[in-house]
Chains A and B, each alone.
Chain A
C-alpha cells in the first residue's frame, strides 16, 4: 500500500527530493565532521636544516654589555592545513613581538630590542641567515620565537539545525579547540650558543555557527597567540633571572663571559660588609679603651 503510494510520486517530485538531499549532504560535508588545522614553525628546522645531529657549540659565549637584542618569529616552513586558513599575519607577529620587547626594555644590561620582521629571515636560513641579520641590524643576541598551533573543530547536537540552512547562521553547532604552544629560544649569534629558552602555552575553546566558523577560528587563533605570549613573557622573565643567577654562581667563564662595551658607567660604593667590619673594629677599640 505504502509502496504503491511512493511509486505513485511523480518524477518531478523525486527530482526535487534528490536535489534537496544532494544540497543537504553537501552542506553537511562542508560544515560537518571533525577538522584539524595545524600551523607551526620550528627553531631546529630553521637553524639546523637537514642536520640530524647538530653539534653543540664548544666556545663559551661572550656577552658584551649592554646587549643589543633582536626578536623574530621563525619563518614557518611547515604549514599543514586541512582546511586552508590564513596563518598568523605579519601584523599580528609584530604586535606580539612588540609586547615582548616592551616587557624587557628599560633593563640596564639591554641597550636596545629590535623587532626583526620575518622577511629578514628565510626558511631554513640557519646561522648564516642570523649572521646576516646581525650584520644588518647590529644585534648581538636574538630571541627566536617558534609556535605550534592546532585547531580542532567538532560538531555538536545543534549542528542538526544546519539542515534548515538558516540554522547555520544562528545555532552554535560547532566547537573549536585551539591549542597554542610558543617558545622563545635566546641565542648568542656569535657563539651559536643557546642561552636560555622559555615556553608559553594556551588553550582556547569557543562555539560558533557554521557560517561564522572560519571567522571564529581566526579569532580563536589570534587569542591563542595572545594568551601564549602572556605565558611566554612570564616564563622569559623567570628564565632570564635564572640565567643571570647561573652566570653569577657558576665558576667564572663556564656559562658565559661578561664583558663591557667601551663607554660603561662606573660607581664607587661601600657595602654593608665594610660598614659591619668597621663597626666591629670600632667596638673592639672601644672595649679595649674601657678595660
Chain B
C-alpha cells in the first residue's frame, strides 16, 4: 500500500529512494524507504505480484517472525548494497524484500515438513536461478525497467535470500 502510495506521488521518491550519498550523510530512513520506490508501473506490479501472496502466506504461518523480517530485512539488504556495491548511487524496488519473504516462506515450510517439500525446494531453486541469470546477464542495459538507465541488482535479491534463510533456519532446526 505504501509502495503504491509512493509510486502515485512521485515527488516523494527523491526523499525516500536509496541514495548512497544521502545515507552516508545520515539520512538513515532511506535504508528502509528505498525499497518502496519504483521506476515504473511494471516494476511495481511484478514486485507486488510476488510480495503480496508470499507476505500474506508467511504472516499466516509465522506472523511474528514475518514482521521481524519485514523490519530487519530492508536495512540489512541496504547495508549489503552499501558495502558490496560502492558504485550503486541509487536503488529502488521491493524485489529484495519479496525475495526475502519468498525464501523465508519456503524455508519455514521446509522446516514444517508437510510433505510437499519438492515444491518449496523448487521455489528456492527458481529464486536462485533468477539471481544466477541476473548475475550472468550480459545486457543489463536492456532490462525490463521503464527506463533504460536502471540496472538490475542481483545482490539485493541474494541479500534478501540470505537474510531470510538466516531468520528461518533457527526455527527450522528447532
Whether the Cβ atoms of B47 and A266 lie closer than 8 Å is no
A 64-104 contacts with B by CB, 8 A: 65-66
The total of chain B residues at the interface (CB under 8 A) is 47
The one of B47, B92, B99, B119 that contacts A285, using a Cβ cutoff of 8 Å: B119
Whether the Cβ atoms of A266 and B153 lie closer than 8 Å is yes
What is the chain A residue whose CB lies nearest that of B130?
A274
Contact partners of A247 in chain B: CB under 8 A: 139, 141-142
Bound: A288/B38 CA distance, A? 37
Whether the Cβ atoms of B152 and A266 lie closer than 8 Å is yes
Whether the Cβ atoms of B123 and A266 lie closer than 8 Å is no
Given contacts A264-B87, A267-B92, A277-B126, contact A108 B148 (CB under 8 A): yes
Given contacts A281-B119, A281-B123, contact A266 B90 (CB under 8 A): yes
What is the chain B residue whose CB lies nearest that of A251?
B138
How many residue pairs link A and B with beta carbons under 8 A? The number is 120
Contact partners of A270 in chain B: CB under 8 A: 46-47, 49-50, 95, 98, 130
Instruction: Give the interface centre of A247, A268, A270, A285 by most chain B CB atoms within 10 Å.
Output: A268
Given contacts A265-B151, A266-B88, A271-B46, contact A278 B126 (CB under 8 A): yes
Bound: A277/B128 CA distance, A? 13
Bound: A217/B105 CA distance, A? 76
Query: Can you report 18 residue pairs joining A to B where beta carbons are below 8 Å apart?
Result: A65-B149, A109-B149, A248-B142, A258-B140, A260-B87, A265-B149, A266-B91, A266-B153, A267-B91, A267-B152, A268-B96, A268-B153, A269-B145, A271-B144, A272-B46, A278-B123, A281-B119, A285-B119
